[in-house]
C-alpha cells in the first residue's frame, strides 16, 4: 500500500484498536429506538467489527434479545472470520446483506445470503 495512504489512515484512525463498551453501544441503540420508533434499519459501520469475534457475537446475541424489529446491515465483516454461529446470530438479529471486506469471500460467507 502507498505509504501516503497508510500515513493518512493512521493520522485519522491511529494504530491502536479502540473498543467501545458493548453495553454502551446497546444503550445508544435503545435510545435511538425510543426517540425514532419508525426506523426500520440498523446500520453498523465499523472498520473492524470482527476483530474480536467473541465480542461481536456477544453484541449480536444482545441485539437478538432486544427484539428491535429492524433490519440489520453491517459493513466490513471479515469473511475469513465468520462461522456458522455468526451467520445464525446475524440472521436472527435481522441481518440480510453483510458487506464483506478482504480476504475474498468464502463459500461459508456466501451462505449468509442464501439463508435470508
Q: How far apart are CA 108 and CA 99, in angstroms?
A: 14
| Domain assignment of residue 60, given as a range | 17-115
Q: Which residues of 69-106 are buried (b: 16+ CB within 10 A; e: fewer)?
A: ebbbbbebbbbeebeeebbebbbebbbeebebbeeebe
- The pLDDT profile of the chain, 116 residues, written as one tens digit per residue, is 444 444 455 555 566 767 778 899 899 999 998 999 898 888 888 777 878 889 999 999 999 999 988 888 887 777 778 888 988 898 899 987 655 554 444 444 455 555 55
CB 53 within 8 A of CB 81: yes
Which residue reads 453483510 in cell numbers?
A: 98
Residue 10, domain member (yes or no): no
Residue 8, domain member (yes or no): no
Dihedral pair phi/psi, residue 78, rounded to 5°:
-70, 115
Length of the chain: 116
Can you give the pTM of this predicted structure?
A: 0.70
Residue 110, domain member (yes or no): yes
Respond yes or no on whether the N-terminal peptide bond of residue 35 is cis (omega within 30° of 0). Answer: no
Q: What domain count does the chain have?
A: 1
Residue 26, domain member (yes or no): yes
Residue 68, domain member (yes or no): yes
Per-residue model confidence (pLDDT) at position 102: 47
Amino acid at each position: 500500500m502507498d505509504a501516503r495512504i497508510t500515513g493518512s489512515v493512521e493520522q485519522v484512525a491511529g494504530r491502536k484498536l479502540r473498543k467501545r463498551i458493548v453495553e454502551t453501544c446497546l444503550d445508544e441503540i435503545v435510545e435511538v429506538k425510543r426517540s425514532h420508533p419508525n426506523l426500520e434499519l440498523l446500520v453498523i459501520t465499523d472498520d473492524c467489527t470482527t476483530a474480536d469475534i467473541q465480542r461481536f457475537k456477544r453484541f449480536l446475541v444482545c441485539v437478538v434479545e432486544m427484539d428491535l424489529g429492524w433490519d440489520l446491515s453491517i459493513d466490513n465483516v471479515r469473511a475469513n472470520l465468520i462461522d456458522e454461529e455468526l451467520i445464525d446470530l446475524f440472521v436472527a438479529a435481522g441481518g440480510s446483506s453483510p458487506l464483506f471486506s478482504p480476504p475474498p469471500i468464502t463459500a461459508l460467507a456466501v451462505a449468509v445470503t442464501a439463508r435470508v
